[in-house]
Amino acid sequence: MEQPKEKRRKGGYRKRRRQLKLTLPFPADLNLEILLRLPARSVLRFRCVSKLWSSITTDSYFINSYETRFSTLRPSLLVCFIANGKLFVSSIPQDNQNSKESSYSCSQPIYRYNMKFPQGPCYFPPTESVHGLICFQVSASPVIWNPSKRQLLTFPKPDENWSNITMFLGYDPVEGKHKIMCIPDSRSSEVCRVLTLGSAQESWRTVKTNHNHYSDYNTFGRCIKGVIYYIADIYHKGVWVIISFDVRFERFGMIDLPTDIYRDMLISYEGKLAVVENKGIDWKSKLWILEDAGKQKWSRKEFLVPFRYHQKGVELKLKSFTHTGELIYVPPTFHKSDYILFCDPVRESFRRFQFKGIADDESGNGVRNGYVLHSFPNHL
């Protein structure tokens, strides 16, 4: 009878020893290496494991190391709309996984969720995702949205005298910082307000624009390689130009447009600023690409479009180019029968993404059609 007790004592000792070993902290380098090898969604989920893991995964060194290790991550098209006090979000793959097929349709997004949305008048500026973050405004207050973390951060108004604002989000790849730049909406101004995200003070600074100009919240903004571009009207001249804002040095510049274009046709093409010219009755569009901002040198490229502005009763608008050279056409409002079209002008092929199922919440309840659809290409 004594032998089983001895075995139980030894077994209990080994168990307690194993538990003790598990409670001992890992070396910091080992923690870092483990987290760097995890998928992005696992990293986000494991931030709540401990304060240590949370501090590691939010540190700029970890973020930069993670981006370098997973530099082959494929961007997605983020679409969302506001309904019933919620923000419905879907992440749609941009890359064509069925490259052997000339065209195909897919009906389910790779990732979707919905979250509570703040009350008040909301304006989403037409822009792309800027290094993982998206900006918009609620009741004239800037809001930064991190779709991956499902977080919204509201900032104070840049100026109490500005009833409405036009805002742009920029990213400086050298110092790894996001900045918000605001000007008064539809009113000429010689100054703007700038705020650096994550700074100790998080207060607005006044920066001279060098050019007295105005724009509004419908103006497209593009941040490309540390420079924000947007179209504006020069005060007292009635001339539409491209205004540039260097995010790192906070300096403004002005670039003449290569042709008369509508102001919402500012896009990103192969890492360069481009404007789209839709003229004539043929099925061709001109793409003007900014090759050198200092010399204001533009190149021109023509591409075929698979339709004019409608296809089988579906209104579609050009939003941007993917990194693989496909055009992205998105409807302005959400209808379950609509779709997003990805077009390859070189191969003359296309693929569709159908909206069926993306507006269902956790309880299985759907929403009606007709909500304004916001889209953000090239989201990582």
Residue 347 in this model has a pLDDT that exceeds 60: yes
Predicted local distance difference test score (pLDDT) of residue 31: 80
Residue 81 in this model has a pLDDT that exceeds 60: yes
CA distance 56 to 274: 38
Point out the least confidently predicted range of 112-121, 222-231, 314-323. Answer: 314-323
| 89-147 pLDDT per residue, tens | 988 888 765 544 555 566 555 678 889 988 888 888 878 899 999 999 988 899 999 99
CA distance 215 to 276: 19
Q: Give 202: exposed, middle or buried? Use CB within 10 Å, 0-12, 13-18, 19+.
A: exposed
| 37-63 pLDDT per residue, tens | 887 778 878 888 888 888 888 787 887
Q: Mind listing the domains of the chain with CATH numbers? A: 2-64 (no CATH), 74-379 (2.120.10)
* Residue written as token pair 């705020």: 195
Structure tokens at 364: 């299985």
Predicted local distance difference test score (pLDDT) of residue 135: 93
Q: What is the 3-state secondary structure (H, E, C) of 30-68?
A: HHHHHHHCCCHHHHHHHHHCCHHHHHHHCCHHHHHHHHH
Residue 249 in this model has a pLDDT that exceeds 60: yes
Q: Calculate mean pLDDT across residues 299-313.
A: 68
Predicted local distance difference test score (pLDDT) of residue 343: 85
Predicted local distance difference test score (pLDDT) of residue 13: 47
Predicted local distance difference test score (pLDDT) of residue 193: 96
Structure tokens at 139: 């009741």
Point out the least confidently predicted range of 187-191, 216-220, 288-292, 294-298. Answer: 216-220
Predicted local distance difference test score (pLDDT) of residue 49: 82
CA distance 315 to 185: 28
Residue 307 in this model has a pLDDT that exceeds 70: no
Judge if pTM exceeds 0.75.
Answer: yes
Predicted local distance difference test score (pLDDT) of residue 143: 94
| 355-375 pLDDT per residue, tens | 876 665 544 455 678 889 999
Q: Is the Cα dihedral 216, 338, 223, 206 positive or negative? A: positive
Number of Cβ within 10 Å of residue 169's Cβ equals 26
* Residue written as token pair 């793409």: 287
Q: Are 133 and 172 in contact (CB under 8 A)?
A: no
Residue 170 in this model has a pLDDT that exceeds 90: yes
CA distance 249 to 370: 42
- Which residue type sits at 36? L
Query: Angle formed by the axes of helices 28-36 and 60-69, to 10°?
Result: 40
In whole angstroms, how far apart are CA 284 and each of 302, 331, 334? Answer: 7, 20, 27
Residue 7 in this model has a pLDDT that exceeds 70: no
CA neighbor of 353 nearest in space, from 78, 41, 40, 73: 78
| 286-302 pLDDT per residue, tens | 889 999 999 999 999 88
Please give the angle made by the CA atoms of 290, 295 and 297, to the nearest 5 degrees: 35
CA distance 43 to 71: 16
Predicted local distance difference test score (pLDDT) of residue 273: 92
Confidence of residue 20 (pLDDT cuts 50, 70, 90): very low
The SS3 of residue 9 is helix
SS percent in the chain: helix, strand, coil, step 5: 15, 45, 40
The SS3 of residue 352 is strand
Check residues 95 and 197 and name the one with the higher pLDDT.
Answer: 197
Predicted local distance difference test score (pLDDT) of residue 337: 82
Structure tokens at 137: 């405004």
